[in-house]
Amino acid sequence: MFSLYTSLVFCQREGDSIVLKVDKEQVLTSRSLSELNETYNGEEFNYDVNEGEAQNLLARAINWFFDLLKNTFGIDLPPEAFRLLEYLIYILMAALVIYLLVKFFIGEKFSSIFSKKATTLLDINLSEEHIENLDLDALLQSALVQKDYRLAIRFQYLKTLKLLSQKNIIDWHYEKTNLDYQREIQTPKIRSLFTDVSYLYDYIWYGEQELDETKYNAADIKFTALKTVIPQ
């Protein structure tokens, strides 16, 4: 009996001394997950935000403009406005490219492309060679045969300058303007008609106006009228 009582007391004391083990690994794991959530919850780890990603030059320019509005005037535009403006610029750029391609390949005749190249060479020669050394009659006839009436007006005007220079009415130089020549012409009638053909030439040549044979003949009348009043 005594032995049984002693055993019970001993077991009770031994049971009182039992210490429950704490799962430190589980606590550590819970704290680590919490710390990770706080650490990697910053804006720099939000991969849904496009800001900071690689952008093209246009996007950077638009972004800079929006930042300028925000910092200067306090205007904070939504991201939808950024995308709308970017798409709009892309559409305008595409429309411009299409327009230039259509103008080059469809709006311009194949023969006129070479005519403009020849005219460019002529402009270069005018800065190096005196106008009297050019066979303008042959160039004019060649343009008329090709039905390039705009280029023919160009040669008609150069023939007029050449004639006025030969008659010592003007002192031709490739750097002079039409206004310079108008001031040099002393005869009012010649100056008036020269002003008319100068305006016509500027409108057709520099305005890149397309001419047909009828319009060319109408313009040729004005050049002929000027030639008739120049002393022979």
pTM of the complete model = 0.47
pLDDT at 112: 45
166-180: burial string, b at 16+ Cβ within 10 Å, e else: eeebbebeeeeebee
CA distance 4 to 99: 110
pLDDT at 128: 45
pLDDT at 38: 52
**H helices present in 132-212, as ranges:** 136-145, 149-166, 178-184, 188-201
How is residue 62 written in tokens? 């638009």
pLDDT at 154: 92
pLDDT at 35: 54
pLDDT at 222: 95
Q: What is the pLDDT along the chain (232 residues), one digit of tens a residue?
A: 545 444 544 444 444 444 445 455 544 444 455 555 555 455 444 444 444 444 577 777 777 877 777 777 777 767 777 678 777 888 888 888 888 887 676 654 444 444 444 444 344 355 545 677 788 899 999 999 999 999 999 999 999 999 999 999 999 888 888 899 999 999 999 999 999 999 999 999 988 888 899 999 999 999 999 999 998 7
Residues 152, 136, 226, CA angle at the centre, nearest 5°? 70
pLDDT at 122: 47
